[in-house]
Structure 1
Amino acid sequence: VTRNGAHRKTGIIANRCRTRQKVTQPMVAPHHPSNHRPKASVSKMPKKPSSSCREDSPPVDEPCLPSQHRTERLIFPKPLITVEGIARAPLNPGDFASLHQRTYELRPEWFEGFQLNASKTLAVHRIVRASWNLSHVTPTGFRVGAQLQRRCSDSVLKTPLVAFDVNPGTLSSNVSLLYRPVASVCCEINVQVPPRGGSGTEDQGPVIDKASLQHTGSSTTTTLRCYRPGRDSCRLTLDHLMSYNDRLAIGGELLYEWYRNTSNAQIALAARYNHERHSFAATGSREAFDLSYWRRVNGRLQIGSSLACSNREGKAIGTIYYRLEHPDCTVRGLFDSDWSIGFTYQR
């Protein structure tokens, strides 16, 4: 009981705030002389708690934050304001020709006849190969080749890259050259040298099988390709693929080809949706369209399906692929609507 008869109640310490709340109760009437009337006691309501504490707010002279000057007013932070964010461009979508790559990588590698391959890595930028084929589809004989590249610079292989293989008996060879003058531009050319021997092919010179020029941006890829250029025939394609975001990519391709006095031009559109565990791609034009789907079921099994329709041939083929990986072997297989069934076992 205080001196004037009022009670004081100590508040609860919350959030490191020393709070006090005064609770005023009715005053006990002391003894007064008869000529003076006692004044009625007035109970005061507790002050409204401040927003700086939960419920029990401190008095004005006792701030929540420690301060040397007890009478210093609290300064609250400024309200939140809108600031300009940082936007990151989506990833590069890759090449237009690799839209269905995830699905087609599940296909078995077919070969006909007998094939023996051997390779030796001399260094990280030098590889030699040798192969012997016995087949009715591929050229029969022994071939030797190599792949040469510039040395590493900061753990990155530099171009140009040269890959070739040659038949020692007929001197027929295939040569591929890849060069990047700058990081965003890539030039590639494939040349075929016919065999030397026989009157029919002696005067033939090297033939350019394919030449391409590609520009790779942060979120776009543009490629110009030329197939078998000659006086009477040629085929040109110009494609552009753009990433809308990290999941979706859209693009188009312009095809122009001619053979003697006949020419043809077409436009194709494509789209692809990528995810870590599944992917869907579609390519369509006036004469054909392709659909593909890929999914990773678990860490060992991958499945995929494709549908190819051609208006020119009036035919459609649907195929289902699978790939099963084990620590010591890999199994790939497929079966389609033409009743083609097969698999390969690799160990």
Structure 2
Amino acid sequence: MGNVQTEMQSKKRQKLDKNRIYRFLGISMANEGDGYEMKGERFKIQRNPERELQMESSATNSAMKTRSVAVALPALSLRPESLGNPGTVAELHRRCHDMLPQTFDGFRLNVSRHLSHNVAVGHALQLGQKSQLANCQFNVSYMGETLHELSGEAYPMIIAEVDAKGNLSGTLMHFITPRLRAKLTATVLDSQLQSSRLFLDYFGNSCTCTCVLSNMNVQQEMGVLVASYLQQVTPQLALGVDFIYQREDIVPGGQAALLTAVARYHQDNRLWSAMLSLQALELCYTQIYGKCLGASVQLRANILKRQAISRLCYHCYIPKMEFSFRGGIDTRGVISAVCERRLEPLPVLLQLSGKLNHLTNRFRFGLGLVIG
């Protein structure tokens, strides 16, 4: 009986693919580059956003890439007999972001080895046309035996990565109580602490409260505070608010605040989500067709600069072939696609990535291998 329970817990942990870890860390799943940029973000947390986001995301991405396999589309369902916990505001557009193809350039190789049910180590190598894209990392991850009842996440969780230049990124997550989750992420560049974030999430019976402290400096009175609240009003409707306060020298006037209203509505196999503030708007719609096909539409707008972009994406999964395909097109003429195919009986996952910008006539292609 004990062996059966251990095997079931092991299978649940293996379902933690890279996309789920991305969502857990609150990293944007939208593509970047080649016409995908939306200038004028809600706020700037980091002093060097591009470099710090690259280091922060690469740690989790490399540590969990070896567990990335084509998975079936999740069903959009809620328990009608109870409201249930609505999740965090960071996961508001999770269903839609899962459809977006995560493209990459050049060649990418990920090799991992599971030392035990809890510990895994791996190497990640990425080569591109540009010299700065060449990078090599070593990563290690640890996941505990306990599974959280609400989220199904294994805890405690530790993920760390170091690259050839000695830069280090790490993440620590643990449930202090059954309803309180704490998470700490840090990035060290050139022997200096470049960024740090502390997440505190409280999961109630029908609501979730989140507090994030980013790059806090008590002596200089600088940093970013994010507070959000999401309430499940009915089994189909969830409403909430997201408040952001930033105090840094790079902000005009030294400080800034932003209040955002959020909403999510679920009906059968369809899901609507929205975030609205005085500066930005994001609308998402997702629909699941059976177990093998899903589609989503995303609209992002910068109200102050009067800029907007919309994307149409879909995800197709064939269980018998272990084949997954994600494709998308946006209003700026950018077509992107990523397909994954497991090469049985070898423990190898083949990844092909492509992105074409019709306006600039730029084409990018990527080849990836995940071994382990």
Scaled by the length of structure 1, the TM-score of the pair is 0.67
- Matched residue of 1:159: which SS? strand
1:120-164 CA distance string (max 9 Å, x none): 223332121210122449753321111113345899876332110
AA in 2 matched with 1:90: L
Q: 1:97 aligns with which of 86, 90, 115?
A: 90
Q: 2:324 aligns with which of 313, 317, 330?
A: 330
- Matched residue of 1:299: which SS? coil
Q: Where does residue 71 of structure 1 map in the other structure? A: none
Of Structure 1 and Structure 2, the greater helix share is in 2
Q: Bigger shift: 115-124 or 248-257?
A: 115-124
| Cα distance in 2, alignment partners of residues 176 and 306 from structure 1 | 29
Q: Where does residue 148 of structure 1 map in the other structure? A: 142
| Cα distance in 1, alignment partners of residues 293 and 202 from structure 2 | 35
| Cα distance in 1, alignment partners of residues 301 and 153 from structure 2 | 40
Counterparts of 1:127-206 in structure 2, within 5 Å, are 127-135=120-128, 136=130, 140-152=134-146, 159-167=155-163, 169-196=164-191, 205-206=192-193
- Matched residue of 1:111: which SS? coil
| Cα distance in 2, alignment partners of residues 185 and 280 from structure 1 | 27
Indicate how the Cα distance of structure 1 residues 147 and 319 shifts in structure 2: closer, same or farther if over 3 A, else same.
same
Q: Where does residue 291 of structure 2 map in the other structure? A: 299
| Cα distance in 2, alignment partners of residues 153 and 326 from structure 1 | 29
Cα root mean square deviation, aligned: 2.4
How far apart are 1:217 and its partner, in Å?
0.8
Contact 1:187 1:212 in 2 (8 A): yes
Q: Bigger shift: 94-103 or 255-264?
A: 255-264
- Matched residue of 1:102: which SS? helix
| Cα distance in 1, alignment partners of residues 306 and 277 from structure 2 | 14
How far apart are 1:233 and its partner, in Å?
4.1
| Cα distance in 1, alignment partners of residues 157 and 148 from structure 2 | 17
| Cα distance in 2, alignment partners of residues 137 and 245 from structure 1 | 52
| Cα distance in 2, alignment partners of residues 342 and 154 from structure 1 | 36
Q: Where does residue 306 of structure 2 map in the other structure? A: 314
Structure of higher RCO (CA pairs closer than 8 Å, 6+ residues apart): 2
1:266-314 CA distance string (max 9 Å, x none): 1111110123411001110011111100001233211110111112332
How far apart are 1:206 and its partner, in Å?
2.4
State which structure, 1 or 2, has the greater radius of gyration over its C-alpha atoms: 1
Q: Where does residue 274 of structure 1 map in the other structure? A: 266
Q: Structure 1 stretches of 5 or more lacking a match?
A: 1-86, 197-204
Contact 2:148 2:155 in 1 (8 A): no
Contact 1:149 1:157 in 2 (8 A): no
Contact 1:208 1:229 in 2 (8 A): no
| Cα distance in 2, alignment partners of residues 256 and 292 from structure 1 | 25
| Cα distance in 2, alignment partners of residues 104 and 154 from structure 1 | 24
Q: Structure 2 stretches of 5 or more lacking a match?
A: 1-79, 342-372
Q: Number of residue pairs matched?
A: 252
Contact 1:112 1:137 in 2 (8 A): no
Contact 1:151 1:157 in 2 (8 A): no
How far apart are 1:246 and its partner, in Å?
1.8
How far apart are 1:189 and its partner, in Å?
0.8
Contact 1:320 1:336 in 2 (8 A): yes
AA in 2 matched with 1:249: A
Scaled by the length of structure 2, the TM-score of the pair is 0.63
- Matched residue of 2:115: which SS? strand
Q: 2:200 aligns with which of 197, 213, 216?
A: 213
Indicate how the Cα distance of structure 1 residues 140 and 211 shifts in structure 2: closer, same or farther if over 3 A, else same.
farther
Q: Where does residue 242 of structure 2 map in the other structure? A: 253
Indicate how the Cα distance of structure 1 residues 185 and 152 shifts in structure 2: closer, same or farther if over 3 A, else same.
closer
| Cα distance in 2, alignment partners of residues 274 and 249 from structure 1 | 9
How far apart are 1:343 and its partner, in Å?
0.9
- Matched residue of 2:95: which SS? helix
Contact 1:148 1:163 in 2 (8 A): yes
